Chain A
Amino acid sequence: MITVLRRSLRTRDGGRDAGAIAIEFALLMAFMPLTVLAFGIVDYGEVMGQAANLSAIVRGAAEYARGQVVQNNTLPQPSDLGTLLGVPAVIFSTTSFCTCAGSTDTTIQQNYMPVTCGGNNPCGATPGGDTRVLKYVAVSGSQLYTPIVSGTWSFPGSVNSRTVLRTQ
């Protein structure tokens, strides 16, 4: 009886397809890394979206800081920016720096050299007639990021952005 059954199975189509399932399972296993790839793409999109969002936030903060410096000559505190823009998760930092005005005279070495802001005009001794001070505000922002697939891809732990605007 068993011999008959075995012969029957061997001659039917089902008997021929027996190995196909194993092969297709092996192919399916080969696709498993693609699942990780898919999550990686999602993480990548999330990082890019968050970076674009942070870039816009920092840009807005820099515009605000520029306005404050132009109008009141005061640089806003980083904590004020987070409260003002409603983004407590973003860590801001604000700085300002100054340079002497440029000149087309290439013999003048002070072209756009950094100088200390405030006090007596530090560019007063610049030869060439243009004694203006160029002042810039720089606003940086940082926000933590945790990827979905932790440790699989080398995603950054935080996204950062910086905007520098000239005020005078």
Chain B
Amino acid sequence: MGSRDVTAGKAAISHPRVWWRLWRDERGVVAIAVAILLPVLIGFAGLGVEVGMWFAVQRQNQSAADAAAISAGLEYAAQIQRGVRTDSVAATTAATTAANCNLFSTSSSSSNSVCPLPSSVSNTITLYLCYGFTVGSGTCNTSSSNGTLTAVQVVLTQPLNTAFANFVTAIWGPNINTIKVTTTAIAAFLPHQPPPPPTACSLPASAIPDNNGKLPKCLDVFLAL
């Protein structure tokens, strides 16, 4: 036994038979397999959890986008009813307030007097005016040549930093550091049914609402996408 060890030791590096014997030797294989597969196993479990989180955020943001679209739609409907020029600042503020109330942070959400939230500079809320929108089409034509203003589209974007996805994609590159969760909602405003009296939809800009602060019913605002 001693002489065999000496022989193997002399030719350990150069002798091809030693390498062949090492290749065929099955001892310790399980330890190597575990060492290789354990990080992969945990990595993919983490990736599954992380992707699940993305979809949870998207689900939450969709509620915020819907509420923001309704709020912006109500604001535009009031402006149309009162015959004033469409004020995108007021509509954006209304949409932002509604989004904040549904847990979507924005750059100014900490100063929201109704639903304060910690501010997030990277989250954005964008409004698009839809002209000649038809319910069911699902597309927002932003050119005024398509008809009258009948809907508003709200787009929320939230970048999320990745951890496991960054690690996994780094293997083949380019690695993904952040993903952007985007949610969209469209609120349409169409004439109220039964048709309102003409005076309800052509109010002066200085029209005084009723005791509850409501204007006469002129347009119905509803989610169209």
- A residues contacting B by CB (< 8 A) are 17, 20, 23-24, 27, 30, 34, 37, 41, 44-45, 48, 51-52, 55, 59, 73, 97-104, 111-114, 117-124, 129, 131-136, 138, 162-166, 168
CB distance from A59 to the nearest CB of B (A): 6
The answer to whether B60 and A119 have CB atoms under 8 Å apart is no
> Are A24 and B30 CB-contacts (below 8 A) given A97-B114, A112-B113?
yes
A-B contact pairs, 8 of them (CB 8 A): A24-B30, A27-B31, A101-B90, A111-B113, A112-B93, A133-B212, A164-B98, A164-B101
Set A44, A131, A136: member contacting B209, Cβ < 8 A = A131
Chain A contacts for B114, CB-based, 8 A: 97, 99, 112, 114, 136
B63 interface residue per 8 A CB criterion: yes
By a CB distance below 8 angstroms, the chain B residues around A114 are 113-114
**Closest 6 interchain pairs by CB?**
A133-B213, A164-B101, A166-B71, A102-B93, A121-B213, A104-B89
Q: Please, what's the 1-or-0 string for B188-215, where 1 marks a CB less than 8 Å from any CB in chain A?
A: 0000000000000000011011111111
Report which of A104, A119, A166 forms a contact with B67, defined as CB distance below 8 A.
A166
Q: Is B140 an interface residue (CB 8 A)?
A: no
Asked if B12 CB lies within 8 Å of chain A CBs, one says no
Among the 9-residue stretches B48-56, B131-139, B152-160, the one with 4 or more Cβ atoms under 8 Å from chain A is: B48-56
Contact A168 B113 (CB under 8 A): no
How does the 8 Å CB contact mask read for B92-136 relative to A, with 1 for contact and 0 for none? 011001100111000000001111000000000000000000000
A-B interface pairs (CB < 8 A), number: 113
CB–CB B205/A129 < 8 A: yes
Q: Which residue of A lies closest to B56 (CB)?
A: A48
Whether a CB of chain A sits under 8 angstroms from the CB of B165 is no
Q: Are B206 and A41 in contact (CB under 8 A)?
A: no
Interface flag for B11 (CB, 8 Å): no
Q: In the complex the two chains form, is B48's CB within 8 Å of A166's CB?
A: no
- On whether A37 and B213 interact (CB within 8 A), knowing A97-B114, A164-B102, the answer reads no
Contacts A23-B30, A129-B206, A165-B70 hold; do A55 and B63 have CB atoms under 8 A apart?
Answer: yes
In the complex the two chains form, is A48's CB within 8 Å of B30's CB? no
Q: Which chain A residue lies CB-closest to B223?
A: A63
- When the two chains form their complex, are residues B59 and A52 in contact, meaning their CB atoms are under 8 A apart? yes
Q: 1/0 per position for B30-58, CB-CB distance to A under 8 A?
A: 11001000000110010011001000100
- Beyond the given pairs A102-B94, A114-B114, A136-B114, 8 more chain A to chain B contacts, judged by CB atoms under 8 angstroms and listed by A's residue number, are A30-B34, A48-B52, A101-B90, A102-B90, A102-B97, A119-B211, A132-B78, A164-B101
Contact (Cβ within 8 A) B94 A134: yes
Q: Is the CB of B63 within 8 A of A163?
A: yes
CB of B27 closer than 8 Å to a CB of A: yes
Contact A123 B60 (CB under 8 A): no
Please determine whether B213 and A45 come into contact, CB atoms closer than 8 angstroms. Answer: no
Q: Which of B34, B48, B90, B215 contacts A103 (CB 8 A)?
A: B90
Q: B87 an interface residue at 8 Å Cβ cutoff?
A: yes
